[in-house]
Amino acid sequence: DTGVSQNPRHKITKRGQNVTFRCDPISEHNRLYWYRQTLGQGPEFLTYFQNEAQLEKSRLLSDRFSAERPKGSFSTLEIQRTEQGDSAMYLCASEGGTGSYEQYFGPGTRLTVT
Amino acid sequence: AQSVTQLDSQVPVFEEAPVELRCNYSSSVSVYLFWYVQYPNQGLQLLLKYLSGSTLVKSINGFEAEFNKSQTSFHLRKPSVHISDTAEYFCAVSEDGANNLFFGTGTRLTVIP
């Protein structure tokens, strides 16, 4: 399967702990996106990379959130000092950047903060 | 600021009946429009998109959507639904020149046998 993969699929953590999620995009896709989806809502944009450069960040991305894509391939999203309000599904998507505007989504990482 | 409204959170419909899922958007610039589908326990998949050209776009599984600029709408239709169409459908918009997608809150389509 050459689709977008995300790990872990589920994460339960206690409030105040740090968590890190990983996204592996489709090979050679130079654009990578992170979204957050809460129950009953559509996905909300968090941040966007073109290759290794983080080009855009949403106001939703507080100082406790940081994302990296060090070699322009996989990406990590870290949440420090988690809060209960961080509980959500975190989605990663990649796009080829060829003008297709088609984002391919991974299965997501479900975070539960207790 | 752009926004996407999907007024119907749930749409039950009998098998082989027609269905329309409504989507309205607001934006001050040109937009690209998308419908994504999420089947139970699966990730989001692109169903169809409008970038430019013909305002009527179609998917391979019988869905179609029409971009109506004057009404700022991009409603999704299918003349005859199947059980397998049961899923959550998300309308999304991207402003021309931007990269991120703004999603609606989704419409859960349930096809009743």
Q: Residue by residue, what is the 3-state secondary structure of chain A?
A: CCCCEEECCEEEECCCCCEEEEEECCCCCCEEEEEEECCCCCCEEEEEEECCEEEEECCCCCCCEEEECCCCCCEEEEECCCCHHHCEEEEEEEECCCCCCCCEECCCEEEEEC
Give the gap in angstroms from C-alpha A14 to the nearest C-alpha of chain B. Answer: 25
Among A68, A83, A67, A63, residue whose Cα is nearest residue A13: A83
Distance of residue B29 Cα from the nearest chain A Cα, in angstroms: 17
Q: How confident is the model at residue A1 (pLDDT cuts 50, 70, 90)?
A: low
Q: Which residue has the higher pLDDT, B40 or B78?
A: B78
pLDDT (mean) for B33-41: 92
Q: What is the mean pLDDT of chain B?
A: 92
Question: Percent of chain A beyond pLDDT 70?
Answer: 98
A42/B90 touch (CB, cutoff 8 Å), yes or no: yes
Contact assignment for A105 to B106 by CB distance below 8 Å: no
- Residue B1: pLDDT band (50, 70, 90) is low
Cβ of A41 within 8 Å of Cβ of B32? The answer is no
State pLDDT tens for residues A68-98.
Answer: 999 889 999 999 999 999 999 999 999 987 7
Taking residues B82-111, report their average pLDDT: 92
Average pLDDT, chain A: 93
The region of weakest confidence among A48-52, A99-103, B42-46, B104-108 is: A99-103
pLDDT in tens, A4-18: 999 999 999 999 999
63-102 in A: which are within 8 Å (CB) of B? Answer: 91, 93, 95, 101-102
Lowest-confidence segment of B5-9, B25-29, B90-94 by average pLDDT:
B25-29
